[in-house]
Structure 1
Amino acid sequence: MTKPRICVTTGTRADYGLLYWLMHDLHDDPDFELQIAVSAMHLSPAFGETVRFIRADGFKIDAEIPCLDDDDSDAGMARAFGRAVDGFRGAFEQLEPDFLVILGDRFEALAAATAATFLHIPVGHIHGGEVTLGAMDDTFRHAITKMAHLHFTAAGQYADRVIQMGEAPERVFNIGAIGLDNFRRLSIPDRLELMRELEIEPEREYMLMTYHPATMDSASPVAALEQVLEALQSFPDLAVIITKANSDPGGRKINARLETFHSQHRDRVRLVASLGQLRYLAAMKHARVVLGNSSSGLIEAPAVDVPTVNVGPRQLGRLKAMSVIDTVEETGAIVRAMTEAMSPSFRDAIKDSAPPYGRPGDATGSLLSVLRKIDFARLLQKPFYDLPDQALKE
């Protein structure tokens, strides 16, 4: 009997970090054949060419779909989307996967789902049902949900929302946040090892910062970033580890400003395109505070009791733990939020909290147990599910 071919798509350092154990376990599972399709930021030197991390982890890459160029304007990203759709189309025609796994909400994820729809390939979507009103990814995520045939959500409320969108309950599985498996299964470097690798004084405390464009915000992303950088001046004793912005519209402008900031503060600022999975998790686990607007500050940081200062509207609408402090993009407000987050009383208060995405578990195992029971050929027959109290009347 032919083993089902499961194709996993990844376009960024972030989603690869979340998908690592799923890829690892699919590769080792005798019941499946793993295929890997890599696209977007992974293949771009401007964003660290992070495909090298996937290869270094021992994975065979079955398809590469380059789609980015130097234009990250709205129109430029629309053109990148078109290239990605055609690239995935070609890759899927060659690989002929029986099932496609897509995580999240980025444009290349939508492109993969679009190509799969035309080629009648069933899709499993991870992290559907979430809301991030400050980014166009919010629209992409819900579009992928309607193209998908199985859904693996990170919280019960998100599972309910996917069902609300017309997806049959028997196709929706609340497995928790899959990226949290990393804290249980990886050997994360200790603090001294991390400090040594980043050339930071061992006794110095630090913050971890990632700031992406809020693509639905009319304000300039660089103008908003200036408020964040100005706030950092109020904490001169803290080192700052910064990972660069993603390829969303405005990302390159943010990264250019961060380069300048780094050049002016080399004594305490470390700026990298990507830390890699292990170092990023270590940097988060040992940080005094996580600053910025990345989803990792809302999902992974609370799972290890690290406070987060979430800046601006990008994550507006997402479930948030007690350890997350929201603030507007204004220097004084950011300073106040940082001061509160780093206070001993705040750290003590969040230790016994229950993060909405849970603690490290076995989301990967839960997902695989679903795939073992699925007849992939029958997934394409997808009904629309009406909520019982809202069903259309004859």
Structure 2
Amino acid sequence: MRKICVVTATRAEYGLLKCLLEDIQDDSDLELQIISTGTHLSPEFGLTNQQILDDGFLVNKKVEILLSSDTPIGVSKSMGLAQISFAEAFDELKPDIVVVLGDRYELIPIVSSANIARIPVAHLSGGELTEGAIDELVRHAITKLSQLHFTAMEEYTQRVIQMGEQPVNVFTVGEVGLDNLHRMNLMSRDEFEASINCKLKEKNILFTYHPETTQSVKDIERDFVEILKGLNQLENTLIIFTKANADAGGRLINKMIDDYVAEHNDSSVAFMSLGQVRYLSALQYVDAVVGNSSSGIVEAPSFKLATINIGSRQKGRVRAESVLDIEVDAELLVASLNNIHTMEFKAILSQVVNPYGQGNSSYKVVEVLKQIDLDTLKIKRFYDVEF
């Protein structure tokens, strides 16, 4: 049996990978290995490793790499620890191929360790752009450290090939996270309200804001103060916060969220993680996804739901017409939230098509993982694009 080792380090990434994990696990020709790391193992970030276990998966290895610091020095030290720890983990598990998704900084040492151990790497969601985050650098570096590629759309496929990757090893499959929309039993309104211990209001927004990692912590704080100033002007609105990740500045944002909710507990609630079922269920009942999370770009359009994308973190991603891009400005935020309730914008929402696909991506990935000749992946050749 071919051993497929999937690495997951955050709640959001795991949510996108869940259906793929199910399909690998259910395939008699494949053996699923899961390595859980990063914020999954941190009480501060919700110990979301338990969610993986609750979903019926075996975690073959837990790798502690997260330090209690989100400074640039702390992040770099965490990456160094990952390099050492994953070298040992791969030596123990001896996978045939390692699968990673996205653009998190900790993936750089992880895929580097796999390369040195001569284990091929399959990368999901390459070729995308996020110009307002250091992820932009990380994603393309992971592409060059990977031998097999699964992209969300043809535009991204062409970008990966442009980077010198062999076209025969690049597959356009759509966004794997959208498979969840077709497989999960989402909550009713009453069930969702009970799960967050709060009644929805006349208007409701789901808010997630991560640090723009090209900024200093001081600038991150300034921007978030401005955003909270806008949220504070809303009336008859419940704000459902999901907290920031472990990037530099994430802990600062989370403290500011806690302070805001403490002062406005009649109109806001906060969660370290809603989990995939609650998060997707929320998209059925809120008026907009607000902040700078990729979920507003990738998942929200499937619900014909408005997204107010703040700042430049997601700059460069393909987006549906349901996405409104604004600068960090309190008045612009309020104006945008008013705009989504107009008849004109509701007409746009009714016609929205998600450019990231309609699901069934995990099946396509599994078929490639089963059939690809792994020996051919161990020698990497640069592909020259003809101009």
Give yes or no for contact 1:217–1:313 (8 Å, CA) kept in 2: no
Equivalence for 1:225: 224
| 2:49 paired with 1:61 | no
3-state SS, counterpart of residue 388 of structure 1: coil
Distance 1:190-1:348 versus aligned 2 partners, 3 A rule? farther
Supply the AA of the counterpart residue of 1:30: S
1:68-79 counterparts in 2 under 5 A? 68-79=66-77
Deviation at 1:381, TM superposition (A): 1.5
Per-residue deviation, residues 125-183 of structure 1 (Å, max 9, x unmatched): 00000111111011110010001111000111111100000001111101011101000
Give yes or no for contact 1:309–1:341 (8 Å, CA) kept in 2: no
**Match of residue 125, structure 1, among 116, 123, 126:** 123
Whole-angstrom CA distance in 2 between matches of 1:292 and 1:340: 16
User: What fraction of aligned residue pairs are identical, expressed as a percent?
Assistant: 40
Equivalence for 1:210: 208
Tell me the C-alpha RMSD between the 2 structures.
1.2
Deviation at 1:347, TM superposition (A): 2.1
Equivalence for 1:173: 171
**Match of residue 35, structure 1, among 33, 40, 48:** 33
3-state SS, counterpart of residue 106 of structure 2: helix
Whole-angstrom CA distance in 2 between matches of 1:259 and 1:354: 36
Supply the AA of the counterpart residue of 1:333: L
3-state SS, counterpart of residue 364 of structure 2: helix
Equivalence for 2:189: 191
Give yes or no for contact 1:149–1:379 (8 Å, CA) kept in 2: yes
Whole-angstrom CA distance in 2 between matches of 1:202 and 1:133: 35
Give the TM-score taking structure 2 as reference length: 0.97
1:145-294 counterparts in 2 under 5 A? 145-202=143-200, 204-218=202-216, 220-294=219-293
| 2:7 paired with 1:9 | yes
Give yes or no for contact 2:289–2:306 (8 Å, CA) kept in 1: yes
Per-residue deviation, residues 283-339 of structure 1 (Å, max 9, x unmatched): 123211110000000000012111000001111111111000000101111111221
Whole-angstrom CA distance in 2 between matches of 1:56 and 1:377: 35
Per-residue deviation, residues 5-51 of structure 1 (Å, max 9, x unmatched): 00000000001000001111111110000000011110111111110
Per-residue deviation, residues 79-123 of structure 1 (Å, max 9, x unmatched): 011111111111001000000000000012222111101111101
Whole-angstrom CA distance in 2 between matches of 1:36 and 1:201: 37
Distance 1:203-1:192 versus aligned 2 partners, 3 A rule? farther
| 2:328 paired with 1:329 | yes
Deviation at 1:236, TM superposition (A): 2.2
| 2:116 paired with 1:114 | no
Whole-angstrom CA distance in 2 between matches of 1:342 and 1:117: 50
3-state SS, counterpart of residue 299 of structure 2: helix
3-state SS, counterpart of residue 107 of structure 1: coil
Give yes or no for contact 2:200–2:238 (8 Å, CA) kept in 1: no
Whole-angstrom CA distance in 2 between matches of 1:149 and 1:285: 38
| 2:340 paired with 1:341 | yes
Give the TM-score taking structure 1 as reference length: 0.96
Deviation at 1:344, TM superposition (A): 3.5
Give yes or no for contact 2:201–2:236 (8 Å, CA) kept in 1: no
Deviation at 1:204, TM superposition (A): 4.0
Whole-angstrom CA distance in 1 between matches of 2:51 and 2:71: 27
Equivalence for 1:138: 136
| Count of aligned residue pairs for this structure pair | 386
Deviation at 1:203, TM superposition (A): 5.5
Whole-angstrom CA distance in 2 between matches of 1:338 and 1:176: 30
Whole-angstrom CA distance in 1 between matches of 2:121 and 2:370: 15
Whole-angstrom CA distance in 1 between matches of 2:165 and 2:334: 43
Distance 1:202-1:326 versus aligned 2 partners, 3 A rule? closer
Whole-angstrom CA distance in 2 between matches of 1:307 and 1:53: 28
Give yes or no for contact 1:240–1:268 (8 Å, CA) kept in 2: yes
Whole-angstrom CA distance in 2 between matches of 1:202 and 1:210: 18
**Match of residue 378, structure 1, among 369, 376, 379:** 376
3-state SS, counterpart of residue 285 of structure 1: coil
Unaligned runs of 5+ in 2: none
Deviation at 1:202, TM superposition (A): 4.9
